Amino acid sequence: MVGVVIVAAFVQTLVVLQIENRRGATAAAIDRALWRHENQLHLGRLVVELESVHRSCLVTGSPALRAEYGRLWDLYERTVTLLPQYIDEPDAKRDLASLDGLIREWHLDASLALMPQAGPGLEASRWLEAASEPRMRLIRSELDRLETRERNRLTEQRTTANRQALQSTLLTLGIPAVAIVMLLLLVAFVARILLDPLAAVAKSARQISGGNFDVSLPPASRDEIGALVHAFRDMTTAVQRRQREVTVALAREREQSEISAALRTKAEREHQRLLATIETVPVALVIVDAASGRIALQNKAAGMLVGHEPEGDAEREAYWNAFRVTTREGVPLSVREWGAQRLMLGAVIVGEELVVHHPDNREIPILVSAAPLRGDDGTIVGGVVAFQDITSLYEVDRLKSEFVSIVSHELRTPLTSIKGALQLLLDEASSAHPDHVMLMNVALSNTDRLVRIINDILDVSKIEAGRLELHARPHEVAEVVKLSLQNVEQIASGSLITLTSSIEAGVPAVHVDLDRTIQMVVNLLSNALKAAPPRSEVTLSARRHGDDFVAFDVTDHGKGIPPEKIGLLFQKFQQLDGAITRKARGTGLGLAIVKALVEMQGGCVSIDSEVGRGSTFTVTVPVAGTVARSQ
C-alpha cells in the first residue's frame, strides 16, 4: 500500500524532472536562437554600417572613416567568428559561410576601393555601383533571407517552447491528478481491504450496542486490520460471555425477586391473617417494643379492658398509664420490675394472676402470660403480653368456695345430726328388734360413707386450690401405725379379714403431718380391706427405705391389679372393677389424695401388684433428721 504510494510519487517526480529537463533544453535553444538572431541582426547592421562607412569614406576619403571601417570590419570578423558556435544546423552554417564569403568578397573590393591610390570621387562611385552594388544587394537579400529564416526558426522554437510549457503544465498538473486518481483508487482499494473489515467491525459493534450479540465477523486477514478483527472478535466473545453471565445473573435475580415477591406476598398474607387472628382472639394481646418501651401493637381485647378502645398513640399511652397493678394479695408492683426485666432476661411468664386497679376503683383480675420477642440476631427486641380478664373465673372460684363452704358446713351439719342420732339410738338398742338394729347400722355406715366422701371432696378441693396446709413434726412410726390401725379396726373387725402390722427394728422417727399421714395409710388400708377376699390377711408394715425415708407397705392378697390399669389408680373418681367391689364402695378419691399428700410431704407412692396374688401399696415419708441421726 505504502509502496504503491511511494512508487507513484517517484514516477511523478521522474516525469516532472524529465519535463523540466526538456523545458530547460528548449529554453536554452531559444536563448541560443535569440542570441544567434541578435548576432545575425548585428551582423546585418554591421554590414549596413560597413557599406555606409565605406560609401562615406569613398566619397570623402576621410582617414577617420577609413579607420572606422577597419574597426567595423574587425568587429564583423569577431562576430562572424563567434557566430557559428551558436549554429547547430548544417544548412545554416553553410548559409552563413556563403554569406560570409559574399561579404568578404565585397570587403575585398571595398578595401581595394579605399586604397589611397584609388582615390575618391566618381570613379569610386562608379565602382561602387558597378562592382559592389550587386554584391551588396545579394548580401542584403541573403541577410534578409537568413534573418527571415532565423525569425521563423525563433518563432518555431517559441512555439515549441510554448507547447513544451503547456506540456509541462499539463504534466505538472496531470501527474498530481493521476496521483490523486491513483490515490483515490488506492483509497478505494484500501477501503475495500481496510475499511470493509472496519465497517464490518463497526456494524458488529453497533449490533452489539443494539443488544444483538449474534454477530458474524469477516475472516481476519493477517495484517493490522486482522489483528483488530481478532481483538474485536475476542472482545465480542468476552462481551458475549459476560452478556450470558449477566443474562444468567439477571434471570437468577429475577427469579430471586419473584421468589422474594411471592414470599413477601405470602408473608403479607400471613401477617394479615395473624393481625386478624390477634384482633379477634378474646385474649388481650399487647406487643411491646423493648427499645422505646412503647406499645407496638395491641388488639381489640387489650383495648376493651375498661369497655372502650383507646385511639391513637397518645390516648393509648394515657390509657395504660391510668392503671395501677397489684398482685392478687394487693401488693403494688411495677410492671417494669414484674415483667420487663424478666422478659429481657429471656424468661417466659406463664399464667400469673395480677389485679388491675382501674381509676374508677374497679378491680379487674387478670391472668397474664408473656414471652420475649427475639430479633433476627436472637437479641430480645420486645415482648408479647397476653392477658385475660378473669373476673368471671374469680366469680366461678367464689361460687366454688361458697359451694365448698356449704358442703363443709351446711351439708355436714345435718349429717352430724343423723350420725349422732343413730349412734345414740344404737347405743341403747339392746331392747330393739334385731332388724331395726341392722337397719340402723345400714343408716349409720352410709352416713359415715357420706361424711368420708364430703371430707375427701373437701381435701381434694383444698389440695387443688393449694390451700391444704401441712404441719410436719417428728413422729414415731409406731404412733402412725397404731393410730392408723385404730381407724380401720372397726371396718376390719366387721369382716373376716386379719389385720396385722409389723415395724422393722430400729426404724427412725418420721417428719410428717400426723393426721395427713394417718389419712394416707388409712386410705391404703381401707382399699386393701375392700380388695382382700374373706379370711385373708392385710398387713401394714413399716421399714426403713434408704437413708432418708421410711416406707409403709400395705399388702393385700386380693385379685391384684392388671398392669394396664395401674395408671388409672391415682386419677380422681377412678374405681377399679367397680361391679365386684361395689359392696365396699369408696369415694374414688382415696388414692388421688394419697398421692397428693405423700408428694406434698416429699415422699412418693408406688404399687407392686400381680394379678391373682394381690397388691402392695407403698408410701414413703421422710425421716426426721435429728432423730434419724441419734438412732
Q: Which stretch binds other proteins (CB under 8 A): 233-241, 305-313, 394-402, 416-424?
A: 416-424
Q: Which is nearer to other proteins, 165 or 418 (CB)?
A: 418
User: Residue 401 CB: number of other CB atoms within 10 A?
Assistant: 13
**Full strand arrangement of the beta sheet holding 614-622:** 498-503, 537-545, 549-556, 614-622, 605-610
Nearer to other proteins, 316 or 516 (CB): 516
Comparison of 458 and 584: residue with beta carbon closer to other proteins: 458
417 contacts other proteins (rule: CB under 8 A) = yes
For other proteins, the binding residue among 224, 427, 435, 547 (CB under 8 A) is 427
**Judged by CB, which is closer to other proteins: 282, or 414?**
414
Options 222, 308, 433, 471; binder of other proteins; rule CB under 8 A: 471
Kindly tell me which residue out of 392, 423, 502, 631 binds other proteins, with binding defined by CB under 8 A: 423
Indicate which single residue of 424, 465, 496, 580 sits in contact with other proteins (rule: CB under 8 A): 424
Q: Does 453 bind other proteins (CB under 8 A)?
A: no
Alpha-carbon distance 197 to 222, whole Å?
12
Question: What does the H/E/C string look like for 1-47?
Answer: CHHHHHHHHHHHHHHHHHHHHHHHHHHHHHHHHHHHHHHHHHHHHHH
Q: Which one, 293 or 420, has the nearer CB to other proteins?
A: 420
SS3 content of the chain, % helix, strand, coil (to 5): 65, 15, 20
* Dist. CA 11–CA 23, nearest whole Å: 18
Query: Contact letters (x/-) for other proteins, 386-415, by CB under 8 A?
Result: ----------------------xx--xxxx
Q: Which is nearer to other proteins, 206 or 436 (CB)?
A: 436
Give me the DSSP letters along 194-252. Answer: IIHHHHHHHHHHHHHHTT------PPP-SSHHHHHHHHHHHHHHHHHHHHHHHHHHHHH
Query: Does residue 216 sit in helix, strand or coil?
Result: coil
Among 376, 469, 547, 564, binds other proteins (CB under 8 A): 469
| By CB under 8 A, residue 494 contacts other proteins | no
Contact range with other proteins by CB under 8 A, out of 21-29, 89-97, 419-427, 593-601: 419-427
CB of 412 to other proteins, least distance (A): 6
CB of 409 to other proteins, least distance (A): 5
Applying CB under 8 A, the site for other proteins has a residue count of: 17
Q: Does residue 445 interact with other proteins by CB under 8 A? A: no
CB of 490 to other proteins, least distance (A): 11
**Residue 275: CB atoms within 10 Å:** 12
Cell of 285: 394481646
21: contact with other proteins by CB under 8 A: no
Neighbour count for residue 5 (Cβ, 10 Å)? 13
**Cα separation of 285 and 110, whole Å?**
163
419 binds other proteins (CB under 8 A): yes
- CA separation for the pair 238, 213 (Å, rounded): 11
For other proteins, give the closer residue by CB, 216 or 430: 430
- Residue 119: C-alpha distances to residues 48, 128, 131 (Å): 22, 13, 16
CB atoms within 10 A of CB 455: 17
Q: Give contact residues for other proteins (rule: CB under 8 A).
A: 408-409, 412-417, 419-421, 423-424, 427, 451, 469, 471
